[in-house]
């Protein structure tokens, strides 16, 4: 389960930011999670709940997940389309010359502190 590693990575980063800004407690973290990021939201939530109890900075901190839709770009017709619905083949022109524009990332969007 790589969600635990993702959780530790996020918390490690936030601990550095909190120290730089003299923050003693984080109440809520909003994370943008790409639709095809391979991170499973429910697993990430479970890992966060477990890990937050082990780190005073995050004690009872809420994790909010916002899904970023996966969007693919077609190089041939220059249109975008929903990746999950259509996959790699462009629904407009049938081309396979496509690439993912967004939807594979996870970003810390917002942090609420005391």
Residues 31 and 10: beta-carbon distance below 8 Å: yes
Task: Decide if pLDDT at 1 tops 70.
Answer: no
Terminus-to-terminus CA distance in the chain, angstroms? Answer: 31
Question: Binding site, residues?
Answer: 2, 74, 77, 90, 93
Q: Domain ranges in the chain?
A: 3-15+24-113
Question: Binding site for Ni(2+), residues?
Answer: 2
Question: Binding site for Zn(2+), residues?
Answer: 74, 77, 90, 93
Q: Rounded mean pLDDT of the chain?
A: 95
Query: In the structure encoding, which two tokens stand for residue 1, read together?
Result: 């389960």
By CB atoms closer than 10 A (0-12, 13-18, 19+), residue 34 is buried
Q: What is the pLDDT of residue 114?
A: 84
Class of CATH domain 3-15+24-113: alpha beta
106-114 mean pLDDT: 93
Q: For the whole model, what pTM was predicted?
A: 0.83
SS (H, E, C) 80-111: EEEHHHHCCCCCCCCCCCEEEEECCCEEEEEE
Task: Decide if pLDDT at 2 tops 90.
Answer: no
């Amino acid at each position: 389960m790589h969600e635990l590693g993702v959780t530790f990575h996020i918390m490690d980063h936030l601990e550095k930011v909190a120290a730089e800004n003299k923050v003693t407690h984080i109440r809520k973290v909003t994370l943008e999670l790409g639709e095809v990021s391979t991170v499973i939201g429910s697993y990430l939530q479970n890992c966060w709940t477990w890990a937050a109890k082990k780190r005073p900075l995050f004690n009872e901190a809420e994790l909010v997940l916002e899904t970023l839709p996966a969007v693919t770009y077609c190089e041939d017709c220059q249109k975008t389309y929903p990746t999950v619905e259509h996959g790699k083949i462009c629904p407009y022109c049938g081309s396979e010359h496509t690439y993912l524009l967004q939807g594979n990332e996870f970003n810390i969007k917002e942090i609420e502190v005391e």
